[in-house]
Structure 1
């Protein structure tokens, strides 16, 4: 079999790891290794100039307002390269604060901050914070996506953006629309923490398959024994949908 290799850019892990988002990178790496896919992780640190040359999949985690602003400024400095990566179907996973950076603007306190303008969306604030467990039905995964959300931001999608999925439990983008996250080309943005991927192997495999398809023209993945992962997913789904967990 021809060797397959994917390069993952983990953007600013020191700044954007508020809810254990590094676990998403560990999950991607292991699911690739189990299939014999070579995985190279390139960590981009605060003193580095981000580069997407040779990158197949990029990941942006969540962080506080201060860290989010630092990361946004660093990425805006190479904005044309980021946009080229996205428009060329580079895979980009963005969680919570990273998700908010994808749009035209977001609010930091009362200040409107320029975003990366990669996807047709913007984020403002609302009260109260949207906190709690969340379940999302999405086309990217056979199983419902489960996790946790904690955000004051209300993200609004424009006409050229598609929601990641429908909220079955929890709040989602704005607590009103019933939508959660965004999909644009091979960009996936979401408020789902937990971290996202270990209990949602379908989402992890969606990202890996899209990256392989872009690089090699074939994105078919060998099946894995996901008994443990799917059990964790199912238990969370059952507890929430059957009323066994009472949200505060």
Structure 2
């Protein structure tokens, strides 16, 4: 695994693996890692972030939280082939309660398969879902209601994929504005144990601190048996979240 960068205090720590950032970093997805690290540091906790390059062999045995971002079809295919080589290790991590956040292309990799053009590509099978294609692309700002955040989750989506959840899979949330998984069901993303998949870019976590803290709380609970987090002054973040949500819901912006 790539060299780990440690920052923050001397107390509890969260070990974060950022998979293949040189390939998967659309719409500022790297901002999600910055947000996780800062929210730990501001509480006097340590963030240990390892950037895993495509030529590295990832080890999930000492990791608390894994992040997979979004990329083009070509980059997504490269990453999928690499992750399939490590499917057993990643599956064991998820079964053991490891926290995984996957955005857009990374989200599609979680399922049994996804379409690249007319080709059906094998996915990781971590969650009972699959992705096919549709037209037009689903593009624009989005807001959803979700159990993982006390505030509406806001962001941006841009995907040609149509993701279909298995019968027992819970969506991340209910679409209030925008398109979501397929533009029809009113569902967005998936929530399976500590696995979160979503099409929401922007990046996701800076605009939605409640989601970031949910992920960190899960990671701390798994490692230490206590996921309690000290509250932070999120006035600026929550004001930005509210402004965007109210703009979308007021009808100022059309889907």
User: If the TM-score is normalised by the length of the shorter chain, which range does it land in?
Assistant: over 0.9
Correspondent of 2:108 among 89, 92, 100: 100
Q: Distance in 1 between matches of 2:196 and 2:207?
A: 17
Q: Which residue of 2 aligns with 1:52?
A: 60
Q: Count matched residues.
A: 247
Deviation at 1:53, TM superposition (A): 1.9
SS in 1 for 2:164: strand
Paired residues of 1:13 and 1:61 also in contact (CA < 8 A): yes
Q: Which residue of 2 aligns with 1:188?
A: 196
The CA RMSD over aligned residues, in Å, is 1.1
Correspondent of 2:97 among 86, 89, 102: 89
SS in 2 for 1:225: coil
SS in 2 for 1:197: helix
Structure 2 runs not aligned, ≥5 long: 1-8
Paired residues of 1:49 and 1:74 also in contact (CA < 8 A): no
TM-score w.r.t. length of structure 1: 0.98
Paired residues of 1:99 and 1:190 also in contact (CA < 8 A): yes
Deviation at 1:152, TM superposition (A): 0.3
CA-to-partner distance for each residue in 1:124-180, whole Å, 9 max, x for gaps? Answer: 001100001100000000000000000000000002311001000000000000000
Query: Runs of 4+ in structure 1 displaced over 3 angstroms?
Result: none
TM-score w.r.t. length of structure 2: 0.95
Paired residues of 1:7 and 1:54 also in contact (CA < 8 A): yes
The equivalences for 1:61-76 within 5 A come to 61-76=69-84
Structure 1 runs not aligned, ≥5 long: none
Q: Which residue of 2 aligns with 1:210?
A: 218
The equivalences for 1:152-171 within 5 A come to 152-171=160-179
Correspondent of 2:25 among 5, 17, 21: 17
Q: Which residue of 1 aligns with 2:209?
A: 201
Paired residues of 2:15 and 2:64 also in contact (CA < 8 A): yes
CA-to-partner distance for each residue in 1:29-74, whole Å, 9 max, x for gaps? Answer: 0000001110010110011112212000000000000100111111
